[in-house]
Amino acid sequence: MKWIKEFSEWIIIPFILVVSITTFVIQPTEVLGSSMEPTLHNEDRVYISKISHTLNYEPDYGDIVIIDSHINSDHTLKEDIIENPIISLIYQNQDHNVWIKRVVGKSGDTLEFKDNKVYRNGKLLEEPYIKEAMLDNPDRTVVVPENHVFVMGDNRNNSSDSRIIGCVPLDHILGKRLF
């Protein structure tokens, strides 16, 4: 009986604590690809704050967010736990991907793409963080639906973002980049 008590004190309790912290508070992740260059590069390690996801906060303009790639299905607490990096190691969950993008539009915003530039609610966005000007981006207008955000990569000519995948539901924003 003493062995079981010691085992739970040294293994089970710390395991539950680490899983809880990486599910609800802070989580490391790795950048895969070049869609966020020059801000983030392939294989950079970033730490994300999960508090905004846990407390259902809407991200701010310019925030770099981590997105659950399964945007066409509901995101639940069960998925948060299963997709935790530590639980993924145990179950070898290779099916899950996350995307890292920058928030450009929030609920109710009208985004216009014209002359390879982005306008939000009629004002040209100043984007000193982008790698280069967009090329071959067709002119169009998008209204961001309620409880969604519009995200784009900083490497606009090499990013699968809301221009392709559509607006992202807020419950699929898993957190925002801390450092």
Contacts of 78 (CB under 8 A, 6+ apart): none
Q: What is the DSSP string of 51-89?
A: HHHHTTPPPPTT-EEEEES-TTS---HHHHHHTSHHHHH
What is the phi-psi region of residue 77: left when phi exceeds 0, alpha when psi lies from -120 to 50, beta otherwise? alpha
Question: How far apart are the C-alpha atoms of 166 and 160, rounded to whole Å?
Answer: 10
Residue tagged active-site, from 50, 101, 106, 176: 101
Catalytic, 101? Answer yes
Residue tagged active-site, from 35, 49, 52, 162: 35
User: Scanning the structure block, which residue is given the tokens 């924003």?
Assistant: 173
Question: How far apart are the C-alpha atoms of 151 and 101, rounded to whole Å?
Answer: 6
Question: What residues are annotated to the active site?
Answer: 35, 101
